[in-house]
Amino acid sequence: FQPVASVVAWCGVESSRLAYDPYDPDVNADPFPVYARLRAESPLYHNPERGFWALSRHADVSAALADSARCSSDHGPMLDRGAWGPQARAYLSFVAMDPPDHTRMRAIVARGFTARRVAALEPMIRAIARGYVARAVEKGSFDFAQELSARIPLDVISELMGVPPSDRAGVRRRSAPLTGRSEDGAGGPGAMTERGPGAMTEEAVRDLLSLGGYYASIVAERRTAPRDDLVSVLVADGGLSDEEIVAFMFLLVGAGSETTTHLLNAAWYWAWRDPAQRAAAFGGAVVPWMEETLRFDTPAHGTARRLTEPTELYGTLLPAGTRMWLLIGSANRDERVFASPDSYDLTRDTSRAISFGAGRHHCLGAPLARLEARVTLEELVRAVDPDYDVDPGGIVRTAHANVQGMVRLPTRVKP
């Protein structure tokens, strides 16, 4: 990508008093003011304690995502400085690979995510969403995050992978170390994401190993008796080993559940905060509701890369091996691209938002995520009075660098 070499010393990388630590709970509570300062004062920001350099402007983040030769994914997208190392592949599959491995695996897996296959999932997704919405409306008061938005994406992925309903609670519990979600919904830093697998509790390691064993048993079953699910498609292809399929199943749970959950939570919350936007959303603008939420309060705030060669950025020469932190959440609020970026406006053009990343690693599940979110929001609009309530005092947010959002969102609805 083309670094802007002319903007130099005033970026004051080392001397700036601007402090940005993505693991700081105060930053996590509302990172956008810090992002605005990063973009204005320090578009290349160094955090020596955490060992990363952050890019926050839309042009820079997009360019880095597009330049996968210079910006390697081989240590995975987590901010943590390579604690994953060679283990990244076992849990993160091809999101932690470069070509040619990435190209080979993604091409095989993409066959399970064609537009036709994804569109065919709509009736299944609608049935799942309708069930959860009906139960919520019946209760009246419920936790939107725990009882609705966290359930739907996990059920959809379980359907895709062929995990029967009776096993889903167990999968949810054992996958918590991957997603940074604790079972009681209290959130907290994901052990896997902040400190790497070495820092996990023994119980978390046991959970992941047992989940891996469970996934391996599904793969073995499909080898003898294929069904109409994604794992059967991958097994039938013949190009992937059992270990590769299991790693991909881990990736699906990690990448595909928490993100979609946070999108739904944010849509629900921001529409509640702004009655005019809520009226538009409930008046038929469901797709703009989803797209503007993706831009305004994007679930995947950042992704990491490792420089493969010395690179000059903003007058600073960064050596090969430098850990780069690409702030998608900030790029989507860049005033150079979006007018009044801090206003939540369903009428705006969101086509330049990069919520699903860009380049080789552009989210494979984006069409599925959009389908799930649209269908769930449509079901809510159909069943719920627009005059719903949220209890802001009961909201709990995740303290997680990569994927951010709410894990508790108490709400009250009327039919």
Q: Closest approach of Cβ 153 to ligand HEM, in Å?
A: 6
Q: How far is the CB of 212 from ligand HEM (least distance, A)?
A: 17
CA 344, 347, 348, 350 torsion-angle sign: positive
Q: Looking at beta carbons only, is 256 or 341 nearer to ligand HEM?
A: 256
- Helix ranges restricted to H, 42-111: 58-66, 88-92, 101-110
Least distance from C-beta 254 to ligand HEM, angstroms? 9
* 151 or 361: CB nearest ligand HEM: 361
CB nearer to ligand HEM: pick between 123 and 415: 123
Of 262, 301, 249, 213, the residue nearest 407 (C-alpha): 262
Q: How far apart are CA 292 and CA 176, in angstroms?
A: 28
- Closest CB to ligand HEM among residues 89, 174: 89
| DSSP designation for 148 | I
Measure the CA angle with vertex 126, ends 125 and 130; round to 5°. 120
Cβ atoms of 143 and 409 within 8 Å: the answer is yes
State the amino acid at position 303 in one-letter form.
T
Q: Measuring CA to CA, which residue among 27, 23, 91 is closest to residue 52?
A: 23
For strand 302-307 and strand 311-313, is the pairing parallel, antiparallel, or unpaired? unpaired
Chain positions contacting ligand HEM, by CB under 6 A: 73, 77, 94-95, 106, 157, 251-252, 255-256, 259-260, 263, 299-300, 303, 328, 355-357, 361, 363-365, 368-369
Nearer to ligand HEM, 109 or 346 (CB): 109
Q: Find the residue with minimal CB distance to ligand HEM.
A: 365
Residue 11 or 98: the one with the smaller Cβ distance to ligand HEM is 98
Which residue number, 47 or 93, has a Cβ lying nearer to ligand HEM?
93
Residue 141 beta carbon to ligand HEM: minimum distance, rounded to whole angstroms: 26
Answer whether 363's CB lies under 8 Å from 267's CB: no
Shorter beta-carbon distance to ligand HEM: residue 28 or 257: 257
Residue 40: which residues within 8 A CB-CB, separation 6 or more? none
CB of 328 to ligand HEM, least distance (A): 6
* Distance of closest approach, residue 101 Cβ to ligand HEM, in angstroms: 11
Strands (E) in 141-206, as ranges, are 141-143
Closest to ligand HEM by CB, 95 vs 211, is: 95
CB 278 within 8 A of CB 268: no
Give the shortest CB-275-to-ligand HEM separation in angstroms: 25
d(CA 171, CA 217): 13
| DSSP, residue by residue, 308-361 | SS-EEETTEEEPTTPEEEEEHHHHTT-TTTSSSTTS--TTS--TT--TT--GGG
CB of 10 to ligand HEM, least distance (A): 30
Q: Which is nearer to ligand HEM, 79 or 413 (CB)?
A: 79
Torsional class of 143: left (φ above 0), alpha (ψ -120 to 50), beta (otherwise): beta
Query: What are residue 288's phi and psi, to 5 degrees?
Result: -60, -35
Distance of alpha carbon 227 from alpha carbon 205, whole angstroms: 30
Q: How far is the CB of 248 from ligand HEM (least distance, A)?
A: 7
Residue 387 Cβ vs ligand HEM, minimum distance, rounded to whole Å: 27
